[in-house]
Amino acid sequence: MKTKLRRSLTIMVTVLALLALLTQTALAQVWIHANGGQYFTQYGNAANFFFINNDGYCINGRGPCDPSLWYLQWTYNHAGCGVEEYAIYTMASVQQFNGNTYAWLDQSTGTMYGADYSVTYNGVSTYSVTVNQNAYSEMWATIASGLFKTSAVRLTDGWGSLYWCNGASGYQVEFDEIKLEI
Amino acid sequence: MTRQLAFVVLAVTGIGIGVVIGAIGNLGSTDRQSIAGTLTAPAPAAAAGPRTNEEIERLKAELDRVTQYEVAYGCMNRNRFGQPELCGASKARVDAIHERLAQAIREFDRRDATAVAAVVARIRELSEDPTRAVAFQGTSANPYTNTGKRIELYRDTAGLDYWVDPTGNTVVQFGPGPNSSIAFAQTGSRSPAELRGIAERYLRAHISDFAHVQSDFAFQSSSKPGGASYAFRWQASSKPAGEDVAPFVQVVLSPAGEVMSFADTRSLYTGSQP
């Protein structure tokens, strides 16, 4: 009897704990995903990334990030088809709502006018999008809007689909904070 | 009786543990900015969250159900990064439901014709194009302030995105939106002083109190590496309490003097949702 009671209570505590977690998550509307943070994974040759300290959205006196994340990073674009470096921002919480994603872009870099972003939504759908980083300076730019259950944003050093296989080089692709707004 | 009492005590303890774990879950993420409001706000004034209705929830459920079916039995392949995604007829079927969902949300969130007309008029004035066609895209919490004031998103046929504060039908920002193919000049012979003159003329023509902005806000100019674009910014010297970004007015110009983006975020810090 005691064993049965203990088992029931263990299950109940687990369920309640999960419910509490879900409730907290369900209240979230604004999430920031920092370059270099726990929801950010970069691929390619790490030596090809350049870093600017205390620049980007998260800097001393601005943003919720730990001081270890007070920097932005960028890489030169890949000319022609394909990509070399890229990064994935995994959304901290996948919400049962249609949301918008925004990228913070700075004056110190982000000259790429055909940045190659893609957004994973609804689990198995992809929205490929080309963004003009060069038009934005110390401000947020829209990456995607109205996507259900956004789960990841990918940014590469290649040309976005509008300019795919463009042979131009020398543009700087900025990797900084990504915001999900519900 | 003792057993029942023990059960109640343990149940209460369980709830407490659950809440603590939830709180730890909140604190565990250094990347997350904030949690606020409720996701099923009954009215815009009550919270900054998205609104919903029966039709929207029905479409979400349909989207979930059909997606699960197509993942199990439909066409799946891998994208260029090796991740699974829908393809063929499965993709088309799921995309169609997603579009119906997006459309239902747009219809639910779109304000009355008078308000939309006021927004369109302001956009045409800012774009200096009296016939520019724009369409309402939806709403979201605005990225600049932590107070959760919502913005509306409009998009024109040229590919510019406009963020609108519905409180006063104010355009708080515009610039090339996702997949915009506007080809701004990448080179130009204008000096930074000439470009500043262009920026000031534009703002004087389109912001009625720009003289106050010039006198009250601190001016900064900057250019991207290689002079790829130029920013002219007037920013408040301090941030409102609880905010991360100070209000600012800004124009970004191409080297040839074209307006690439515009921002006037001041209204986001004042007033309440209509």
Residue-wise pLDDT tens digits, B122-133: 999 999 999 999
Residue B98 sits at the chain A interface (C-beta within 8 Å): yes
pLDDT value, residue B269: 93
Determine the distance from the C-alpha atom of residue B32 to the mean position of all C-alpha atoms in its chain, rounded to a whole number: 17
Confidence label for B37 from pLDDT (cuts 50, 70 and 90): very low
How distant, in Å, are the alpha carbons of A120, B88, B100, B200, B271 from that of B74? 18, 9, 20, 56, 50
Helix H or strand E segment including A144: strand A139-148
DSSP strands (E only) in chain B? 34-35, 76-78, 84-86, 134-141, 150-156, 160-165, 170-176, 218-223, 230-235, 248-253, 259-264
Give the right CATH number for B113-269 from 3.40.30, 3.30.310, 1.10.4160, 3.40.50: 3.30.310
CB contact under 8 A, A92 and B32: yes
pLDDT at B174: 98
CA atoms within 13 A on the CB side of B36: 20
Which one of A17, A118, A146 has the shortest CB-CB distance to B137?
A: A146
Contact B204, B184 (CB under 8 A): no
Q: What was the ipTM of the complex prediction?
A: 0.84
User: What confidence tens digit (pLDDT) does each residue in B152-205 have?
Assistant: 999 999 899 999 999 999 999 999 999 998 999 999 989 999 999 999 999 999
Chain B contacts in chain A segment 143-182 (CB below 8 A): 143-146, 148, 154, 160-162, 172, 179, 181-182
**Which sequence spans correspond to the domains of chain A?**
30-181
- The domain made up of A30-181 has a fold known as Jelly Rolls (2.60.120)
pLDDT given at position A27: 39
Q: Does B224 touch chain A (CB under 8 A)?
A: yes
Mean pLDDT of the residues in chain B: 85
Q: Which of A23-32, A62-71, B36-45, B141-150 has the highest mean pLDDT?
A: A62-71
Judge whether A125 is closer than 8 Å to chain B, CB to CB.
Answer: yes
B121 touches A at CB < 8 Å:
no
Closest CA to B262 of A158, A141, A48, A143: A141
Query: Are B31 and A122 an interchain contact pair (Cβ–Cβ within 8 Å)?
Result: no
Scan for tokens 């309490």, then name that residue.
B241
pLDDT, residue A29, reads 74
Contact B60 A148 (CB under 8 A): yes
Q: Confidence band (pLDDT; 50, 70, 90) for A16?
A: very low
CATH code 3.30.310 region(s) in chain B:
113-269
Residues of B in contact with A95 (CB under 8 A): 39
Enter the tokens of residue B239.
């941030």
